[in-house]
Structure 1
């Protein structure tokens, strides 16, 4: 189960990126050194507006 920190990003942060940073389960299915497609999609600040905490 995700921690409270993982589920409550501060204003201005991306919900998905915050969750993937603080909840180890998000990357448990990946092989060692395998990139997470969801994280790669958000690299360089490419966050959809609807995922940013207002």
Structure 2
């Protein structure tokens, strides 16, 4: 039986008591998601317009 690989977040596991670091990382991830969401919204708006010729 194979063991599942351990997946851990390096910075959080090194210092699990540092809540500020964890919050900062959550904010960074949220900002990345927001950026990609904005890009996809633009694609959807382009699709709603007249087809390009």
**Same structural fold, with TM-score higher than 0.5 when normalized by the shorter chain:** no
Q: Max radius of gyration: which structure?
A: 2
Sort the TM-score into its range (normalised by shorter chain).
under 0.3
Q: TM-score, normalised by structure 2?
A: 0.24
User: Quick check: which one's helix share is greater?
Assistant: 2
Q: TM-score, normalised by structure 1?
A: 0.24
